[in-house]
Structure formats: structure tokens, C-alpha cells
Amino acid sequence: MRVLVVEDEAGTRGLLERALREELFHVEGVADAAAAESCAVPGRFDAIILDVMLPDRDGFSVCRRLRTRGVDTPILLLTGRNGLADRVRGLDVGADDYLAKPFAFEELLARLRAVTRRGRSRHLQSLLSYGPIELDQQSRRVTVDSQPMILSNTEFRLLHYLMLHAETPVSRDELALHVWDAGAGGRSNVIDVYISYLRRLLGPAGSLIRTVRGSGYALSAGRRPV
């Protein structure tokens, strides 16, 4: 699941990013309303966690503007203000849920699951499968032809990202960002090495990971990735 975290306080943003990545979410974090509005395009994220107190514009306005632009991504407002008027206002401007700080991370996860369930995103399904490969996002188990595989955390994240985007070419930059939490600089060799580990581990199913010349990789059964 791809989540946009909009939070100006660097400590809180970093915490949310780390926590969500540990739960296998693919996270992008931004610190202000302008950045949030420019990257929250329809279909890019499965959920948005939006702080109400942003430095350039409040989260209620951001929420209203996104809805006006046709962005229907589920939005979870996160705030230090928990008054009735704030909660009502948040829901009235188009947010799907409202969570006050300080919050338990378990509750945040549960609310994220609840708001995205309404969108029936495929990322929500606990079990992802492609050909003989099955990956359980909750238990973090991988099987190939029902045989359990032992993968390192990085191998698991890499396979997970490829399965989330099956049949779609994924660039090395994307993989560097979402699997290694880093920019692309100097990473492409590491990515290639991990792809080769993964192909080897998956046995014959490893051939489903195809190289897209000049771009990256794709999980695809066809001769050419779509």
C-alpha cells in the first residue's frame, strides 16, 4: 500500500515513515501543503495521512482542495487538536477519519486499513499472488508452488514491491526509493545484485522477474512487460 505522509514536524514525520515501512507500506513524506498538493494526484497513493497544522496552509484547506480537484484517495487527518468542532470540520471537508495525537500506532494502522478498505484497493488484500508466487503481507510469508521460502528483509521488500506493481515496469529509482528508502545515486548495482539473489531464490519462478532494458524490472509472465 502506498501512503503519503504530510507532516511538518520532522521527528513525527520520520517516525511515521519508519513505522509504516516496517509494516511494508511504501511511504512518501512531505513537510508542507504545497508539496502535498503537488504530489497527491489521483491514483498515486492508497491513503494520505495529513497533519492539520501545516506551516503554509492548514490541513482542512488541503483536504478540501484535493477533493475539489477530484482526488478521492482516503485521507486520515492527524492532529494535536481534538475538539469536537475540529473533528466535525475535518470530516465535513472530506476527510475519511480523524486521529488525535498522541496516538497508538496500532490504532493508526487499524484506521488506515479501515479507510482504505472502502476503496477496495488490491493492496489491501493480505495475500498477493502472481503465478506460483504467493506473498502474505501480514505474516510476511512467501511461498512458491506452496513451498515456503526464506527471504531476507530486503529481498522480501523487493519482491513485495514488484508484486504490488505486477505487469508494470518499475524503475531502479523507484526501487531505490521504496525498497531501500534512498535516492538512486550509486544504488543501481545493489539493486541488480538483489534482483539476482531473488531470481535464484525463487527458482524457475525467478524468470518472472524480467529486465526492462534501460529502465528497471517488471514482474511479468509475458515475453515483454506491459
> Is residue 19 within 8 Å of 27, Cβ to Cβ?
no
Treating both helix axes as pointing N-terminal to C-terminal, what angle do 153-164 and 188-202 enclose, rounded to 10 degrees? 90
* Least Å from the CB of residue 197 to another protein: 22
CA nearest to 162, candidates 170, 152, 154, 153? 170
> Is residue 113 within 8 Å of 125, Cβ to Cβ?
no
* Least Å from the CB of residue 201 to another protein: 23
Sign of the torsion angle spanned by Cα atoms 207, 208, 211, 212: positive
- Tell me the sheet residues that pair with 212: 216
CB nearer to another protein: give 51 or 133.
51
Residue 50 phi, psi dihedral angles, 5° rounding = -125, 120
Name which position in 35, 39, 58, 171 contacts another protein (CB under 8 A).
Answer: 58
Name which position in 41, 44, 105, 207 contacts another protein (CB under 8 A).
Answer: 105
* Least Å from the CB of residue 148 to another protein: 20
Contact between 11 and another protein (CB under 8 A)?
Answer: yes
Name which position in 41, 44, 88, 103 contacts another protein (CB under 8 A).
Answer: 103
Name which position in 41, 42, 44, 55 contacts another protein (CB under 8 A).
Answer: 55
CA nearest to 109, candidates 88, 79, 138? 138
* Least Å from the CB of residue 85 to another protein: 11
CB nearer to another protein: give 58 or 72.
58
**Cβ neighbours of residue 170 closer than 8 Å, sequence gap 6 or more:** 161, 162, 216, 217, 218
Name which position in 41, 42, 44, 53 contacts another protein (CB under 8 A).
Answer: 53
Contact between 80 and another protein (CB under 8 A)?
Answer: yes
Contact between 109 and another protein (CB under 8 A)?
Answer: no
Residues that bind another protein (CB under 8 A): 9, 11-12, 15-16, 18-19, 22, 32, 53-58, 80-81, 83, 100-106
